[in-house]
A and B are shown apart, each in its own frame.
Chain A
């Protein structure tokens, strides 16, 4: 099988079975995987923040939970997925550093996860598996042939969700 397709930080890619998508070193970021089980087309977004509050023009939509999921859905529908068949798996959203009394900037991971969940729910996309939170990083590999999401960590084991 070919090498997994790399998805960078604030990046988004789609692919078909038997390919797989990988994103390395998710900390507070969240990896959002969507797929259509019938057409076996799927995608992964590596989102950094809940939503764009800057008002700046020309922002990269893949950076934010709301616009990233929107773009991922649009792209997948264009590639033959059906909205009602889309399913989601997510991983990441850790709090890498904990400071006593620090502002919520530090808990961006939890805010990212909440924003992703909200956006999925708003679109009626069922979240079937998740591996979120904690205080450690994750590398995730999404296999489109099986929809298995492999989560690798340092010191916290490896699991398939």
Chain B
């Protein structure tokens, strides 16, 4: 089955890495406009990870993280998760709301909606790049927000992969801006079955 991610060839992984690179590049540009600072992007990772290890990318299953989650619907549905350390999330709210640094000490409704907007813009930039590369449509849902344990957030996002695999295909990008170490991690998780469409659209055969 195409859902057997373990059979991805190096060529296909390279193609996916390129997609992530361009998608994340677009997202970084959108992010830079929002925070009015230069945003650096690490080389994206495209990896098959056992469920347990996905939470480690966020510091471990019990570490609190602020996450914006969106669903990109279309022929090749995918989930996009933008995760920030709680400290970074508070700093981001200061930047987005043009407050003095250190003003935000807890997330209120305004702060959450600022972060949702940030997630929305980042995910949409990402979706647009994907659409351009593949010719497929990616329609973002309304962003949802949660501040909770990384493991709890991820198991809700990863549960559906459990039907078909013990591993998730994780496309991860790390953003950083001047003065802020790590802004956040962006995960793109194609739904089971969606990968085939993406690979076909990229003209690298599905596994």
In the complex, B153 has a CB within 8 A of chain A? yes
Given A25-B62, A137-B151, the answer on whether A97 and B144 have CB atoms closer than 8 Å is: yes
Taken residue by residue from 29 to 71, chain B's Cβ proximity to chain A (1 for < 8 Å, 0 otherwise) reads as 0000000000000000000000110010000111010000101
Taken residue by residue from 61 to 87, chain A's Cβ proximity to chain B (1 for < 8 Å, 0 otherwise) reads as 001000000000000000000000000
Out of A26, A99, A136, which one reaches B155, CB within 8 Å?
A26
Out of A24, A60, A97, which one reaches B61, CB within 8 Å?
A24
Q: Is the CB of A9 within 8 A of B51?
A: yes
Taken residue by residue from 63 to 101, chain B's Cβ proximity to chain A (1 for < 8 Å, 0 otherwise) reads as 010000101000000000000000000000000000000
Q: Is the CB of B69 within 8 A of A100?
A: no
Query: In chain B, what residue has the closest Cβ to A8?
Result: B52
Query: What residues on A are CB-neighbors of B159 within 8 Å?
Result: 28-29, 48-49, 108
Given A99-B142, A139-B149, the answer on whether A28 and B166 have CB atoms closer than 8 Å is: no
The smallest beta-carbon distance between A24 and chain B, in angstroms, is 4
In the complex, B154 has a CB within 8 A of chain A? yes
In the complex, B164 has a CB within 8 A of chain A? yes
Taken residue by residue from 11 to 32, chain A's Cβ proximity to chain B (1 for < 8 Å, 0 otherwise) reads as 1000000000000111111000
Out of B61, B145, B154, B163, which one reaches A49, CB within 8 Å?
B163
Out of B145, B148, B163, which one reaches A27, CB within 8 Å?
B148
What is the interface of chain A mostly: helix, strand, loop, or mixed? Answer: loop
Out of B62, B144, B157, which one reaches A98, CB within 8 Å?
B144
In the complex, B199 has a CB within 8 A of chain A? no
A-facing residues in B138-167 (Cβ within 8 Å):
141-142, 144-160, 162-164, 166
Query: What residues on B are CB-neighbors of A48 within 8 Å?
Result: 51, 155, 158-159, 162
Q: How far is the CA of A102 from the CA of B148 in the complex (A)?
A: 21
Q: Is the CB of A10 within 8 A of B162?
A: yes
A-facing residues in B1-18 (Cβ within 8 Å):
1
Q: Is the CB of B71 within 8 A of A99?
A: yes
Q: Is the CB of B55 within 8 A of A25?
A: yes
Query: What residues on B are CB-neighbors of A53 within 8 Å?
Result: 163
Q: How far is the CA of A48 from the CA of B154 in the complex (A)?
A: 11
Q: How far is the CA of A109 from the CA of B162 in the complex (A)?
A: 14
Query: In chain A, what residue has the closest Cβ to B160?
Result: A105
In the complex, A94 has a CB within 8 A of chain B? yes
Residues of A within 8 A of B (CB): 8-11, 24-29, 48-49, 52-54, 56, 60, 63, 94-100, 102, 105-106, 108-109, 135-139, 154-155
Which 6 A-B pairs rank lowest in CB-CB distance, beginning with the nearest?
Answer: A25-B151, A137-B152, A27-B152, A25-B61, A96-B156, A137-B149
